[in-house]
Amino acid sequence: MRCPFCEHEDSQVVDTRSNPGTNVIRRRRRCPSCDKRFTTYERVELRMPRLIKKDGSRTDFDRDKLVGSMMLALRKRPVATDAVEAAAHRIEEKLRSLGDREVSTSRVGDLVMRELAKLDKIAYIRFASVYRSFESPDEFREAVQEVKSPRRRRR
């Protein structure tokens, strides 16, 4: 590892720590040339499938966009940010476990709805109203019924 201070080609690892539950390894390093210390992080790079939009175009998976849409549905609701992050992580893991190179955005939307139903019923209804494009009060009423009786919930 090149030293960020003096550009020396080599460095020594002084301390290594892995963070349980994540795929990150933290390394403290020391440069033998200038004797300064710095930290590096190693992460496992896992490929997410590309998303196929309704219009047929393809785009890269964006975790920030996923969390942002969930946070919008959960706006002013009593749900911890950690719970949202955990739900996003479960969605990512599910997408990776599918083993597909491409996944439709509707499949991602279904996964988000399942997670929101677990987190907060109101957020589920908010997300469903946009995701399913409700056009009548009856469609809205059906979504509320799905929340009331989970066995009827769409997949």
How confident is the model over 43-85, as pLDDT tens digits? 776 788 999 998 999 999 999 999 999 999 999 989 888 899 8
pLDDT(102) > 80: yes
- What pLDDT score was predicted for residue 153? 44
Concatenated DSSP letters of 44-96: ---PPPEEE-TTS-EE---HHHHHHHHHHHTTTSS--HHHHHHHHHHHHHHHH
- What pLDDT score was predicted for residue 41? 87
- What pLDDT score was predicted for residue 95? 92
- What pLDDT score was predicted for residue 20? 74
- What pLDDT score was predicted for residue 1? 87
- What pLDDT score was predicted for residue 65? 93
**DSSP secondary structure letter of residue 103:** E
pLDDT(155) > 60: no
- What pLDDT score was predicted for residue 15? 95
- What pLDDT score was predicted for residue 46? 73
pLDDT average, residue stretch 145-150? 71
More confident residue, 93 or 144: 93
Of all residues in the chain, what percent carry a pLDDT higher than 70? 94
CA 26 to chain CA centroid, Å, is 22
- What pLDDT score was predicted for residue 150? 58
More confident residue, 30 or 129: 30
Concatenated DSSP letters of 16-55: EEE-TTSSEEEEEEE-TTT--EEEEEEE---PPPEEE-TT
The residue behind tokens 């710095």 is: 38
Alpha carbon distance 100, 97 (integer Å): 8
Alpha carbon distance 154, 96 (integer Å): 22
Per-residue pLDDT tens digits for 111-135: 998 999 899 888 988 888 787 777 7
Alpha carbon distance 128, 143 (integer Å): 7
The HSE-up count of residue 78 (CA atoms within 13 Å, CB side) is: 0
